[in-house]
Amino acid sequence: LATAAENPPATTAAITETNAASSINIVNIERALVKFMAGLLGLTVDTDIFRGAIIPGKDGCAVRLNHLDMSSDETIPAVLAQFECRDISRDIVMERTSALAEKFPVYGVNVTVADGSTITARRISVISADISTNRADNGRIKTFGFISFNVQL
């Protein structure tokens, strides 16, 4: 797992055919985002942070892709992703959500996933962040934190 400095690189490598929208493996992109964000927060994948959704009735975090975003520039595909954190402790949700949001934007992120492929994100930036309290989860009142991301591939 490697990230470039907080400043964007002066030059950008040419777009390869593997970055074309038709060849994007969204499953591996989601896996890479989970692994990357787990590393930033010191969480364990499939124990503290999950792909797609948090296990019902369990506190933790999840990362999911919402959709491909081809609206801005078709030569640089992007996905919209969301981080979610749920816990009975409002403090834990606030700390995890703010700690993660503070680490962005990042540039030149490379993550190798289980099948050996490497996913590269040119830029990951926060679109919005939100914390909501007093929401029910399996009959218990919990706090939820959300961060929406734009991920340029």
pLDDT string in tens for the chain (153-residue length): 444 444 444 333 333 334 444 467 889 999 999 999 999 999 999 999 999 999 988 999 999 998 776 665 667 788 999 999 999 999 999 999 999 999 999 999 999 999 999 999 999 999 999 999 877 777 788 999 999 999 998
How far is C-alpha 9 from the chain's CA centre? 21
Q: Is the dihedral of CA 62, 8, 14, 111 positive or negative?
A: negative
Helix locations, 42-142, DSSP H: 90-101
In this structure, the chain runs to a length of 153
62: its two tokens: 């999840």
103, exposed or middle or buried, with CB in 10 Å at 0-12, 13-18, 19+? middle
Whole-model pTM: value is: 0.81
The answer to whether residues 59 and 50 touch, using CB atoms and an 8 Å cutoff, is no
